[in-house]
Structure 1
Amino acid sequence: MTTRRLRLGMVGGGEGAFIGAVHRIAARLDDQYQLVAGAFSSRAEVAARSGAALHIEPARCYATWQSMAEREAAREDGIDVVAIVTPNHLHVPVARTFLAQGIHVICDKPLGLTLDEGRALADDIARSGCRFVLTHNYSALPMVREARTRVANGELGEIRSVEVEYLQGWLNERVELTDNKQASWRADPALAGAGAAGDIATHAWQLAAFVSGMLPEALRGELLTRVAGRQIDDEVFAEMRYASGARGRLWASQVATGYENDLRLRIVGTRASLAFRQQQPNELTILPHDAPASVVTRNGQGISAEVALACRTPAGHPEGYLEGFAQIYREAAQLIRGEAMPLLPGIADGIAGMQFIARLRQSSEQEGAWVAWA
């Protein structure tokens, strides 16, 4: 078993990109990776400038991701794993290329554009023997994992309802018509595939499934475009029906005026309920049927031993968004080294997210009719 830092490459994430910097911070936080190569932009001059700014050897700063995969695989000191931080339309093509070269993959969400390409990628992963990790970072937050543990232990009793929402307001106007790089590709159907459904509703979807341990037997919903002229959905409403009799609701909006990144989860059971809000990531509220409500804090008294292992600082010192990504990267390194990490989001989560979008689109096209999950 290797104890050296893993050699990391990156596709995308160059000059002016947001999520690439987040992934690089996450990879550094536990000192498990060294960024040694990249194809940081489809524009050669931007790729070169980005590589120089990140202190990458010029010979390992590539103009295309195809040449990067081929040349890194041929090196004795080639990369062990690649981080894919491109617009959505490239996630699957880039991943398939690196998997074919025997290189592990850490990919930003959503998985891609369509359910079919997700299933094809799953076949490639199985053939390659490589690891594939999807960065649903919220599921790595300690208090989210504490919530999952309490549901799995039966503390809530029988689940009656699951409610999740993710509200943003940054696309309340046609920001994509400005020089905002993030808005320009996220509002382009060819590059993003889905709008709010892919960008934030898949986060909400995965969070609800991760904590509850349930997928629905049927769902219905609407994909809406609130801002005139926009070519992609910017608000999502969905209802879920579970085999157990539980019901669920999901609301995701990028046009919720005044909201920032307000991701909330509530699960109601017969014995207790719980509530989590991403903007207060160090707290989990527990509401028992026959006792006062309590707030459990990250690394505080009463949290599960396995959750405490995911905490980096003492109670009262906040951890949040970046540490969630870092936990994914830490556990991905352990997975690549041969240690089992069952909580890591991977291809199954990615396919479920694409299936959610596909079923939601199907229902929306049928004026909100219930559609079977399977």
Structure 2
Amino acid sequence: MRPLKLGMVGGGQGAFIGGVHRMAARLDGHWQLVAGAFSSDAVRAHASAAELGIDLDRSYGSFTDMAAQEAAHPDRIDAVAIVTPNHMHAPAAIAFLEAGIPVICDKPLTATMDQAHALAQTVRDTGTPFFLTHNYTGYPLIREARAMVARGDLGKIRVIQAEYAQGWLAQPLEGEGQKQAAWRTDPDKSGAGGAIGDIGTHALNLLSFVTGEVPAHLSADLQSFVSGRKLDDNAHITLRFDSGARGMIWASQVAVGCENGLRLRIYGDEAGLEWSQEDPNRMKLTSLNAPARWLTRAGAGTSDLATRIPAGHPEGYLEAFATLYAEIARALRGENEAAELVPGLNAGLEGMAFISACVASSSTGGKWVSLD
């Protein structure tokens, strides 16, 4: 089976997430990168394309040119990955959706709610497939946890806790020319959310993916601890769910010493689960009146959901990301069931509503806000 042809917007020289997308896309042999508008600077865009082995006639100086020309190309791309800063997600995605080219977009969905609504309307109007890369949903044990909750193994869910702790922004790197820090702390490029948009949306998506529940109301306390920073770098958020469950999210980028501490804890009236992204091949199961057990990826008592290699061989971040790209490829080939576990428009809209509700709640001293 031939690889599908992938294009990319953003992700050129000096970018981080573009390289991750490219590695994930090619891991299982489903995709081949053939075109791109890798930077808003045409010179840098073409230099990036040359480094990646892209033919000059498939290197574009803008995403608008790329969308128009690829739509008419006799060997057009099968999908485009959008890996720009947040404020460019909507215009780029809309251009390709209107050209009939499926879109694979990095999170969060957009920078503003107005952009999110415009993008959502375009998806509905065109019917063009749209996917959102909340990549942590691709971990095998996260798939296992989702199946366990759905089966009722934990009983009725009572408590849902998620946290995402990083320390890389504990100092004002945005004032030192650090590219990744600069756009993530700029409201014109990132949107209204700092830590809540960059990593808080991951925590929200992970808990919703596993439990099937989206918070109905939240109370948020956002801080900008670094002097002069315009967006939040730490957030404590209390959640209420329609089911009666309660939860919390802690998202921080000033937790000194923390690297990529995404954790999830779910407790029902019969059992509980604990999982950490930094130790992703093990998950703790605590059952009522029984000793705690450690479940391992592809090990005894677990399935082979989204796993590639035998138990005891670690799988991690890139493999989880690659799982989404493999499922997207199968979905575009007509295996509709493959898309069931890939986040899409609804997950993106939930993330945007979460950001807006957090900002609104924190601005009123933590009053409870509904997520519409």
Task: State the alpha-carbon separation in 2 of the partners of residues 310 and 329 from structure 1.
Answer: 12
User: Which residue does 1:251 correspond to in 2?
Assistant: 250
Shift of 1:232: 1.1
Moved over 2 A (4+): none
What aligned pairs does 1:233-248 form with structure 2 within 5 A after superposition? Answer: 233-248=232-247
Task: State the alpha-carbon separation in 1 of the partners of residues 305 and 75 from structure 2.
Answer: 32
Task: State the alpha-carbon separation in 2 of the partners of residues 189 and 372 from structure 1.
Answer: 23
Task: State the alpha-carbon separation in 2 of the partners of residues 124 and 339 from structure 1.
Answer: 23
RMSD: 0.9
1:193-247 CA-to-partner distances (Å, cap 9, x unmatched) read 1210110000001001111111122111122101001111111110011122211
User: Which residue does 1:359 correspond to in 2?
Assistant: 357
Shift of 1:373: 2.0
What aligned pairs does 1:310-349 form with structure 2 within 5 A after superposition? Answer: 310-340=306-336, 341-349=339-347
CA contact (8 A) 1:267 1:275 kept: yes
User: Which residue does 1:223 correspond to in 2?
Assistant: 222
SS in 2 for 1:342: helix
Instruction: Give 1:15's aligned amino acid.
Output: Q
Task: State the alpha-carbon separation in 2 of the partners of residues 243 and 184 from structure 1.
Answer: 38
Instruction: Give 2:319's aligned amino acid.
Output: E
SS in 2 for 1:73: helix
User: Which residue does 1:295 correspond to in 2?
Assistant: 294
Task: State the alpha-carbon separation in 2 of the partners of residues 288 and 309 from structure 1.
Answer: 22
1:159-217 CA-to-partner distances (Å, cap 9, x unmatched) read 11100000000000001112321111111110111210110000001001111111122
Instruction: Give 1:76's aligned amino acid.
Output: P
Q: How many residues align?
A: 369
SS in 2 for 1:328: helix
Task: State the alpha-carbon separation in 2 of the partners of residues 92 and 245 from structure 1.
Answer: 35
Instruction: Give yes or no for the alignment of 1:130 onto 2:125.
Output: no
Instruction: Give 2:102's aligned amino acid.
Output: H
Task: State the alpha-carbon separation in 2 of the partners of residues 217 and 337 from structure 1.
Answer: 36
Q: Percent same amino acid among aligned pairs?
A: 53
Q: Which runs of 5+ in 2 are unaligned?
A: none
Q: Which runs of 5+ in 1 are unaligned?
A: none
Task: State the alpha-carbon separation in 1 of the partners of residues 278 and 109 from structure 2.
Answer: 25
User: Which residue does 2:12 correspond to in 1?
Assistant: 14
Instruction: Give yes or no for the alignment of 1:59 onto 2:57.
Output: yes
User: Which residue does 1:370 correspond to in 2?
Assistant: 368
SS in 1 for 2:77: coil
CA contact (8 A) 1:131 1:335 kept: no
User: Which residue does 2:274 correspond to in 1?
Assistant: 275
Task: State the alpha-carbon separation in 1 of the partners of residues 250 and 185 from structure 2.
Answer: 19
Give the TM-score normalised by structure 1. Answer: 0.97
Shift of 1:309: 4.2
After superposition, the Cα gap between the structure-2 partners of 1:309 and 1:246, relative to the gap in structure 1 and judged at 3 Å, is: closer
Shift of 1:125: 1.1
1:132-151 CA-to-partner distances (Å, cap 9, x unmatched) read 11110101100011111111
Greater CA deviation, 37-46 or 125-134?
A: 125-134
Task: State the alpha-carbon separation in 2 of the partners of residues 371 and 174 from structure 1.
Answer: 31
What aligned pairs does 1:63-74 form with structure 2 within 5 A after superposition? Answer: 63-74=61-72
Task: State the alpha-carbon separation in 1 of the partners of residues 127 and 2 from structure 2.
Answer: 21
CA contact (8 A) 2:144 2:305 kept: no
Instruction: Give yes or no for the alignment of 1:99 onto 2:68.
Output: no
Shift of 1:4: 2.4
SS in 1 for 2:54: coil
